[in-house]
A and B are shown apart, each in its own frame.
Chain A
Amino acid sequence: MELIMDKLMADLKRQIIAQLNLKDLKPEDIGDDEPLFVEGLGLDSIDALELIVLLQQEYNIKLSSADEGPKVFYSVKTMAEYITAHQSQKE
């Protein structure tokens, strides 16, 4: 399970960098538990919307409302946990 989570988090980091055009960053620069918003990476509300699109595009998961955003996108880890939970629900 850990290996799967690790791979998912690694994939997510690459995808986040691509989707948000964070050209100066490499995946290893983003900590698993590092806050993505406000502090840490310092992303903003537009980035949150982009992450919603990312979830749909890459993982076929639609957030039921933007209000879920802050919790789901808190860190790469929380994103990975959300994806894992919702993907297994689909199967």
Chain B
Amino acid sequence: MGNPVLVAGVGVISAIGKNTAESLDALESGRAGMGEMHWLNSVHKSKLPVAEVNLNNEDLASLGGLPSSVSRTALLSIIAAKEALADAAIDNLEHLRVGFISANTVGGMDKTENFFSEFISNPQKGKLRDVIHHECGSITELVADHLGIRHYISTISTACSSSANSIFFAARLIKNNILDVAVAGGTDALTKFTLNGFNTLMILDPEFCKPFDENRRGLNLGEGAGYVVLVSDRLISSLKKQPYCSLSGYCNANDAYHQTASSPEGTGSFLAMKGALKQSGLNPSDISYINLHGTGTQNNDISEGTAIKLLFDGHYPKMSSTKSFTGHTLGASGGVEAVFSVLAIRHGFVYPNLRLTTPMKELPFVPEIKFLKNEKIDHVLSNSFGFGGNCSSLIFSKLK
């Protein structure tokens, strides 16, 4: 299996907090991040709740250090990436092979939308600086440049599994001795493009979402960024702090059923979870907690639930969807939830699945509805399942 890849640092920003401490506080207090649209200027403002980061672009820019004129996607990314790097506190980074593997789905679309409004009427109009960072990879490079990472940079975009895949790819780069350290995860900002896109699919809940509830009506869109700093265990003796855990398993499978809907049996989900378990050498009964993909849509929750029922077959671990707090942060969700998974191991937490009042009748298990402390959390499975059938699962494990 090769030497283990360790998690040395974490960083996160979402509607529930601008860093890990604020996020944990919100998760413990049951304080969800959904509310009425504040920063995004859309006609659906009063009809669709969203989970926005509670800061405007100027404030995000002050926190992260990028100019406020750049895309919000980058402004969020740098904050979480910087927190993760500072948390890892690795000396002599300049002498190590460091990579930045990020992910997003929207790129600089928040700026492009504004450009297009003018461009549409006259192709000579619209400010070029609003589209210069339109590409997904451009956002990554804005952040990499600011972090001073040049050795290896890449960006993945596989819808909602994007940042789980970037963490997965980063781990393999380390295992294959191409990198020593990787900052891996993802980011996405709310845009009218995605809000309207999801609205056409009729999978948005006009109220706060209820993942895994019998009466769930859809998801709430969110925004944010989450990164982990992965290191080779060759570096373990030089680390100043005890690493959080290891990334012991990962798998990427494709549902190959439909462009947007998941198969009723949850084939892709099942294969991703099973593959991650196989890779980590664990049995389903070894998993202490599942951080569900749990978007709150009719389709995802039954598909994911069915796959869990089949795979765990009576030995159901504790589980919850933290999207009930953060909303669905799309390209960032894998990264954000990886951070929550790692913190669950460090602190022995199980996060609650908010607003679950009626369990789904098809499933023989119910997610946790209370915040739990002092739990024995040895292995956490984190799921990220996206459009295009892209399913990825990560397993984080306590170090012995």
Contact = CB atoms under 8 A, between A and B. Distances in A.
Contacts of B200: 49, 53
A49 B258 contact: no
A82 B202 CA distance: 21
B202 A46 contact: no
A49 B200 CA distance: 7
B201 A44 contact: no
A87 interface: no
A52 B201 CA distance: 11
Contacts, number: 12
Range of interface residues on chain B?
under 10
Interface string B247-270: 000000000001111000000000
Contacts of B260: 45-46
A66 interface: yes
A66 to B, nearest CB: 5
B259 A66 contact: no
B258 A66 contact: no
Interface string A2-46: 000000000000000000000000000000000000000000111
A44 B202 contact: no
A52 B202 CA distance: 10
Interface in A43-88: 44-46, 49, 52-53, 66
Contacts of B202: 49, 52, 66
A66 B200 CA distance: 11
Interface of A: 44-46, 49, 52-53, 66
Interface of B: 200-202, 258-261
12 contacts: A44-B258, A45-B258, A45-B260, A45-B261, A46-B259, A46-B260, A49-B200, A49-B201, A49-B202, A52-B202, A53-B200, A66-B202
Given A46-B259, A49-B200, A52-B202, 8 more contacts: A44-B258, A45-B258, A45-B260, A45-B261, A46-B260, A49-B201, A53-B200, A66-B202
